[in-house]
Chains A and B, each alone.
Chain A
Amino acid sequence: NAGVTQTPKFQVLKTGQSMTLQCAQDMNHEYMSWYRQDPGMGLRLIHYSVGAGITDQGEVPNGYNVSRSTTEDFPLRLLSAAPSQTSVYFCASSRSPREQFFGPGTRLTVL
């Protein structure tokens, strides 16, 4: 199993640009989530999904969209990038209520 994969590893955007962070898992987990990690703030939940076709907002959803058309994929879209979205983004999956498996992360810089 590849586990949780994320692409790209690094990305630089200009303010106002849009992009999609990709996340995929091959463990047939129903639960997937997106977090952002900022220094001194731990990980904060952006959006999550409890199964294909079902998504909901986390703690910091503004400026981000998600969809879950398949069990395997959970892309995160930045609609109009802002410098405040400079962060490291992690995708995770699990079978609730067990431990979450994390991807390697995407380091995003918005200029």
Chain B
Amino acid sequence: AQSVAQPEDQVNVAEGNPLTVKCTYSVSGNPYLFWYVQYPNRGLQFLLKYITGDNLVKGSYGFEAEFNKSQTSFHLKKPSALVSDSALYFCAVRDGLTGGGNKLTFGTGTQLKVEL
């Protein structure tokens, strides 16, 4: 079975400071990892993914994430936070061995609040 943990319900950061949103995962085979963002009353928007290749993945809006296989983590980062980054962030994983299509397991979400 695959699972995802987002240990922080909320992360607060001042605008201009770096931000990190944490994610750890568990899968049987090689992981496919994703980050999504959700703004109020909207659907989820894709930010970035790791399937294979470089451990540092760059995505939309200046976000990046680092895949760490030994720590089974995929933390989301941004060097300088903006107030407009305030939103709900979801980490998701699928097992690369799964034969039943693109089944994703989502974390419970982390609310990011960026303050002036």
Residues A102 and B103 in contact, CB atoms below 8 Å apart: no
Residues A94 and B103 in contact, CB atoms below 8 Å apart: no
Interface range for A = 20 to 34
Cβ contacts under 8 Å, B51 to chain A: 97
Which of B46, B51, B101: most chain A Cβ within 10 A? B101
Residues A97 and B43 in contact, CB atoms below 8 Å apart: no
Partner of B108, one of A41, A49, A94, A102: A41
Which of B45, B90, B105: most chain A Cβ within 10 A? B105
In the bound complex, what is the Cα–Cα distance between A94 and B44 (angstroms)? Answer: 13
Total contacts A-B at CB 8 Å: 62
Residues A96 and B101 in contact, CB atoms below 8 Å apart: yes
The total of chain B residues at the interface (CB under 8 A) is 24
Query: Does chain A have a CB within 8 A of B104?
Result: yes
**Distance in Å: Cβ of A55 to nearest Cβ of chain B:** 10
Binding site for B on A (CB under 8 A): 4, 31, 33, 35, 40-45, 48-50, 56, 58, 90, 92, 94, 96-105
Binding site for A on B (CB under 8 A): 9, 32, 34, 36, 42-46, 49, 51, 90, 94, 96, 100-109
